[in-house]
Structure 1
Amino acid sequence: MDQAEFLFQILLPVLMDGLAVTLKLIVLTAPFGLVLGILVAVGRVYGSKNISLICKGAVAFIKGTPLLLMLFILYFGLPSVGITLSAFMASLVGFVMCNGAYNSEYIRGAISSIKEGQIIAAQALGMTRMQAVRHIILPQALIRAIPGLSNEFIYLIKYSSLAYMLTVIELTGAGKMVATKYFEYTEVFVIVGAIYLLLVTITTIAVMLIERKVAVPGMTQSGRNMLDIL
């Protein structure tokens, strides 16, 4: 079998199937992770003492636990207490928890950078505290948090490969299967790496475009300057 036949008839079709699973994991994780991050960040900054403490503890636990260990707990550990998740669902839940925890830190930092006087001014105009947070603080905070959130999205692209450890045949898992069967490890993993690099590059450019679209003068400059260089 020549290299062209191996590449186009065997490797690429399998990798495309794995890539579809990877993209499905990313597309499902990202929005839920963002929503979870917003809720946890708001809970930590504006919630009651108990809510803030719970959010802080949950973030500390997730950040301090290796993601692979968390996936093992969700997939192999939960059945012992009567909760059984499929490999894909366990991976998704683990990724959402991890993504949400780190997103919450970026958003919390962005919220803390906004002056408290804006909430006071909003309340003087008749808004409740939560209305002020929702309509005034969060829009600004999310813009400021874009660089951090984009980094976490890139991490998500890469750590989605851990789903293979739960038998989810995503991109890395598909490559591993072909490499093991045909003993073409170098060629296979170079191509797998190139696909991940392409995904990260597309994400980076998309984030720069988003930053340019939503930029407020004086708030976000780095993304616009980098895009001009490209």
Structure 2
Amino acid sequence: MRSVKRIAAGLIVAAAGAVLATCAQPVPHVEPPQPLVSLDALADLIPSEGSATATIAAPRGLRLLVDAPRGEDVALARSILQANHRIAPIQALSFALETDRIARRASVPRDLFACLVLQESAYSRHALSSAGAIGLGQLTSGTAAWLGVPHPFDPHENLEGSASYLAMLLQRYRNRGARLQLAAAAYNAGPGSVDAYHGIPPYPETEAYVHLILYRWGRLLFDAGGARLSQGTQ
């Protein structure tokens, strides 16, 4: 446990300097107190098999308990809620469980995949960038078609396609050092740019993107209490 928390702290410290220098974030708005409910208690409401696209009736006025048990899915749900205040707690938990299932099927590190989606769209299913990138994983229409994703605004299809693309990038850099960072950089700037520079391209946006992924990953590991040691930081 201590060694894993040291890993998480190291990721946070390594990324924090660049994050603060290039991507300072405003202090989030604090909502007035609401009736409390433990997010863990909501886990039983999510089907063991199903899609994040399913309509789930979310009870009104739900908030996370600050001292709720810190399982890895709950930790991710917390991160989703912190990044996107428009998502209800039960929907955040549904997205967390769906992310875990899809990451396992694609054989990609769950936390890396989750941090990519957090950074790309903050789990906003209707996200649309000025460049035309669509949905949770911000797939362009061309990339979505290439990956066989007919409806990129559909959260499940988008997550499936994004995980498949990440798996391809990880496979591409499987024999390179820091392959996780290279895959993240390629997800942002394209594998052609990573190959041309033989590493992370010297683009401010891409450098900040990779630092933020590491920072989010460190915070996620720390919040989960170091429950996911197996993915490492290679």
Name the TM-score, length of structure 2 as normaliser: 0.28
Name the TM-score, length of structure 1 as normaliser: 0.28
Whichever of the two has the greater Rg, that structure is 1
- Which is richer in helix? 1
